[in-house]
Amino acid sequence: MRILIASPIFPATIEKLQEEHDVVCAFNAKREELKDLIRDRQILTFRSGVSITADVMACSPDLKLLIRAGSGIDNLDEDLVHGRGIQLVRIPEPGAKAVAEMSFALMLALARNLLQADRLLRQGKWAKHELTGYLLTGKTLGIVGVGNIGSRVGRLGAAWGMEVIGYDKVVSPAMVADLKEKGIRLSTFDEVLYRSDVLSIHVPLCESTRYLFNAETLAGMKRGAFLINLARGGVVDERALCHELREGGRLRGAALDVHEEEGDGKMSPLAKLPNVILTPHIGAGTIDSQREIGKRIMQIIASFSAKQELVRSQARIQAA
């Protein structure tokens, strides 16, 4: 098979694919380069950070399979994919484990002032009696978006002894029952805002969620709460969040792994605030998760390749 890998994936996976297929790697390439490299490709593998637009895919008449090595597809033109009948396979589960754990890592770092403690100690200041923090046990964890990732975060929160409430735009009786078993009670968006001591965001980026957290919604959050965003940068209005943290006095702190502007040289307006943790979109980036994603990619390509060979064999038999 002719494969284009447009984003970094587990190195051992690339090596094994190269042994059996024609593989081109173009990590985070610009649009014009992608349009050139994709021309004869049958399979495209990608993650976030690269835009798979309609004009890029239009350059590849042989493109039959897209593999999203993760979950979000806000960087993909879905209309063209469906219109051309291109198969799209997402691999959300491995990254969901890592993102859920990252959410808890950020909660703990915020609640216990870990970055400030580390920074002061490196400066030779023993601030044992100056630094304080908060327990997560007994607090209310709010989750906006209780899908694959959000429900995992909620289950961790319940195990930690937190009261977990969640909101999702689309729910069903089966979903309500499943979440209840995991210790998550579904509620309204407004209740999640004003009752949560820690609020963790896990929604896809689309028109209905862009700037879902703006000046108005941030003002509706519980005083002293922490906000965590591991969804997409555009879900949170960073300038509104910056203003709230600087002057509003309602939020105690925030942690963001995703940003409105991402990449080298991009500076968040939140960068100078001491009560904010910023990380470079590494939520799903554990060795374990990426290795598991790599195995799934090989399985998907092997299955697709076998089906393509079967179609060719049947065509040869009919022609004979």
Distance between CA 164 and CA 153 in Å, rounded? 9
Assess contact for 273 and 247: CB atoms under 8 A.
no
Assess contact for 130 and 179: CB atoms under 8 A.
no
- Which pair of structure tokens corresponds to residue 62? 């042989």
Distance between CA 34 and CA 281 in Å, rounded? 22
Q: Are strands 251-256 and 184-186 parallel, antiparallel or unpaired?
A: unpaired
Give the amino acid at 169: K
- Which pair of structure tokens corresponds to residue 76? 């993909």
- Alpha helix (H) residue ranges in 112-199: 114-122, 148-159, 173-181, 189-195
Distance between CA 211 and CA 237 in Å, rounded? 5
Active site residues: 232, 262, 281
Distance between CA 37 and CA 59 in Å, rounded? 9
87 closest CA partner among 66, 69, 112: 66
How many CB atoms sit inside 10 A of residue 5's CB? Answer: 24
Distance between CA 48 and CA 28 in Å, rounded? 9
Largest CA-CA distance found in the chain, in angstroms, rounded = 85
186 closest CA partner among 244, 156, 147, 242: 147
Cα–chain center distance at 13? 21
Assess contact for 15 and 43: CB atoms under 8 A.
no
- Which pair of structure tokens corresponds to residue 297? 């990619």
Which contiguous run of DSSP H or E holds residue 142? strand 140-144
